[in-house]
Structure 1
Amino acid sequence: MTKIPLFLFISLITLSWAQTKNSAVTTDDYLDILKDNLSGEQAYETTAFIEQFWRVVGNEGFNKSIHKVAESLKAAGYVLEENASNADRFTYRLEKRPLLHPTWEIVDASISLVGENTPLVSFSSNRNMVYINSISTPKNGTTAEVIYVEDIDELQRISVKGKIIFTETNATDIYKEGVLKKGALGIITYDNPDYLKPDVNVNSIQFRSLTFDPKNTWGIALSYNAKERLKAALAKGPVYAKVNISSKVYPSEELTLVANIKGSEIPVERLVFSAHVQEPGANDNASGVGVQLEMATVAAKLISNGSIDVQRTMTFIWGDEIISTKRYLQENEKRTKGIKWGLSLDMVGENTAITGGTFLIEKMPDPSAIWTRGKDKHTDWGGNPLTLKDMKPHYLNDYMIHNFLKQGKVAHWEVNTNPYEGGSDHTPFLDNNIPGLLFWHFTDQFYHTDGDRLDKVSQETLKNVGIASLASALTLINGDSYTAMDIVKIVRDAATNRLSEEFLLSEKSIKSGNPAEIEIAILKAWEDWYLKAIASTTDLASPDNTVILDKAILEAQAIIESQAKMFAAELEK
Structure 2
Amino acid sequence: MNRIILGLTVSVLGIISCFGQNKNTEEYFELVRPLFTGELAYETVDFVEKYWRITGNTGFNKTVYRIAEELEKAGYVLEENATQYDRLTYRIEKRAMENPTWEPVDASMAIIGQDTALLNFTTNRNMIYVNSVSTPPEGITAEVVHIKKPEEIENHDVKGKIVYATFSAHGIFEEAIIKQGALGIITYNNPKYLQPEKNTTSIQFRSFPYQAESTAWGIALSYAANEKLKKAMAEGKVVLFVKVKTKIYPSEELTIVADVKGSENPDERLVFSAHIQEPGANDNASGVGAQLEMAVLTADLLKSKKIDLNRTLTFLWGDEIVSTHRYITEDAARSEKIKWGLSLDMVGENTAITGGSFLIEKMPDPSAIWTRGNDKHSEWGGEVMKLSDMKPHYLNDFMLTNFKKQGEYADWEVNTNPFEGGSDHIPFLKANIPGLLLWHFTDQFYHTDNDRMDKVSQETLKNVGTGALVSAFTLLNSDTDTALGQLAALEKAAENRIEEELQLSLENIKADAKIGQEVQIIEAWRDWYLKAMQTLTDMENTPSEKLAKAIESAQKQLKASVEKEIKNLKKTN
What's the TM-score bracket when you normalise by the shorter of the two chains? over 0.9
Q: Deviations over 1:108-148 (max 9, x none)?
A: 00100000111111101100000000000001101100110
Contact 1:44 1:290 in 2 (8 A): yes
Moved more, 15-24 or 425-434: 15-24
In 1, Cα distance between equivalents of 2:439 and 2:243:
36
**Which position in structure 1 is the counterpart of 2:200?**
202
Other structure's SS at 2:155 match: coil
**Which position in structure 1 is the counterpart of 2:225?**
226
**Which position in structure 2 is the counterpart of 1:17?**
12
**Which position in structure 2 is the counterpart of 1:37?**
35
Q: Deviations over 1:448-489 (max 9, x none)?
A: 000100010000000000110000000000000000011111
Structure 1 segment 245-394 matched on structure 2, within 5 A: 245-394=244-393
Q: Deviations over 1:494-538 (max 9, x none)?
A: 111000010011111111111101110110000000000011001
The Cα of 1:239 is off from its aligned counterpart by 0.2
**Which position in structure 1 is the counterpart of 2:480?**
481
The Cα of 1:338 is off from its aligned counterpart by 0.5
**Which position in structure 1 is the counterpart of 2:81?**
83
The answer for unaligned runs of 5 or more in structure 2 is none
Change in CA separation of 1:351 and 1:13 when aligned onto 2, cut-off 3 Å: same
Residue 460 (structure 2) pairs with residue 461 (structure 1): yes
**Which position in structure 1 is the counterpart of 2:518?**
519
Residue 243 (structure 2) pairs with residue 244 (structure 1): yes
The Cα of 1:319 is off from its aligned counterpart by 0.3
Moved more, 162-171 or 18-27: 18-27
In 2, Cα distance between equivalents of 1:331 and 1:292:
23
TM-score by length of 1: 0.97
**Which position in structure 2 is the counterpart of 1:164?**
162
The Cα of 1:175 is off from its aligned counterpart by 1.8
Contact 1:146 1:164 in 2 (8 A): yes
Contact 1:152 1:170 in 2 (8 A): no
In the alignment, which of 540, 548, 551 is matched to residue 550 of structure 1? 548
Q: Deviations over 1:189-214 (max 9, x none)?
A: 00000000000001110000111012
Contact 1:98 1:254 in 2 (8 A): yes
Which amino acid letter does the alignment assign opposite residue 537 of structure 1?
L
The Cα of 1:11 is off from its aligned counterpart by 7.3
Contact 1:190 1:224 in 2 (8 A): yes
Moved more, 21-30 or 267-276: 21-30
Which amino acid letter does the alignment assign opposite residue 40 of structure 2?
Q
Which amino acid letter does the alignment assign opposite residue 257 of structure 1?
I
The Cα of 1:183 is off from its aligned counterpart by 1.0
In 2, Cα distance between equivalents of 1:182 and 1:173:
14
Change in CA separation of 1:157 and 1:199 when aligned onto 2, cut-off 3 Å: same
Q: Deviations over 1:416-470 (max 9, x none)?
A: 0000000000000000000001000000000000010001000000000011000
The Cα of 1:215 is off from its aligned counterpart by 3.4
In 2, Cα distance between equivalents of 1:476 and 1:307:
17
Q: Deviations over 1:75-94 (max 9, x none)?
A: 00000000000000000000
Contact 2:268 2:339 in 1 (8 A): yes
In 1, Cα distance between equivalents of 2:167 and 2:127:
17
Other structure's SS at 1:156 match: helix
In the alignment, which of 184, 187, 197 is matched to residue 186 of structure 1? 184
The Cα of 1:548 is off from its aligned counterpart by 2.3
In 2, Cα distance between equivalents of 1:311 and 1:369:
34
Contact 1:179 1:185 in 2 (8 A): yes
Change in CA separation of 1:307 and 1:15 when aligned onto 2, cut-off 3 Å: closer
The Cα of 1:18 is off from its aligned counterpart by 5.8
In 2, Cα distance between equivalents of 1:39 and 1:567:
47
Contact 1:171 1:189 in 2 (8 A): yes
Structure 1 segment 98-177 matched on structure 2, within 5 A: 98-177=96-175
In 2, Cα distance between equivalents of 1:224 and 1:332:
47
TM-score by length of 2: 0.97
In 2, Cα distance between equivalents of 1:186 and 1:163:
7
Structure 1 segment 483-498 matched on structure 2, within 5 A: 483-498=482-497
Task: Among all aligned residue pairs of Structure 1 and Structure 2, give the percentage whose two residues are the same amino acid.
Answer: 56
The Cα of 1:541 is off from its aligned counterpart by 2.1
In 2, Cα distance between equivalents of 1:184 and 1:141:
15
The Cα of 1:562 is off from its aligned counterpart by 2.6
Contact 1:151 1:170 in 2 (8 A): no
Moved more, 149-158 or 423-432: 149-158
Q: Deviations over 1:316-367 (max 9, x none)?
A: 0000000000000111000010000000000000000000021000000000
Contact 1:127 1:450 in 2 (8 A): yes
The Cα of 1:491 is off from its aligned counterpart by 1.3
**Which position in structure 2 is the counterpart of 1:73?**
71
Contact 2:168 2:189 in 1 (8 A): no
Structure 1 segment 411-426 matched on structure 2, within 5 A: 411-426=410-425
**Which position in structure 2 is the counterpart of 1:566?**
564
The Cα of 1:16 is off from its aligned counterpart by 5.2
The answer for unaligned runs of 5 or more in structure 1 is none
